[in-house]
């Protein structure tokens, strides 16, 4: 894994991102000698937080009708 100072990363950010994508290697970014971030190649199909449950559930019953009809039902 390549280690890079934050100032160097800031100056070469776009080139470093291209290198990570093309070579599929990670870059550890440090600030004053301490690790602060890691830039890793993104996987196209893994880790997507949107639509990960799409198609896995079903609606049973009436999804629009209120669950209770009267406030007295809460007692």
Q: pLDDT for 36-58, tens place per residue?
A: 999 999 876 655 677 777 888 88
User: Which residue segments constitute the domains of the chain, with CATH numbers given?
Assistant: 1-41 (3.40.1620.10)
Report the sign of the C-alpha dihedral through residues 47, 21, 13, 9, in that order: positive
The SS3 assignment for 40 reads coil
> Rounded CA gap, 74 and 46, in Å?
43
% of the chain exceeding 90 in pLDDT: 53
**Global pTM exceeds 0.85:** no
> Rounded CA gap, 49 and 27, in Å?
23
């Amino acid at each position: 894994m390549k280690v890079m100072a934050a100032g160097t990363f800031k100056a070469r950010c776009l080139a470093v991102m291209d290198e990570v994508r093309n070579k599929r290697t990670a870059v550890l970014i440090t600030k004053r000698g301490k690790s602060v971030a890691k830039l890793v190649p993104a996987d196209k199909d893994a880790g997507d937080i949107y639509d990960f449950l799409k198609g896995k559930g079903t609606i049973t019953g009436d999804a629009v009708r209120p669950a209770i009809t009267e406030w007295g039902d809460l007692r």
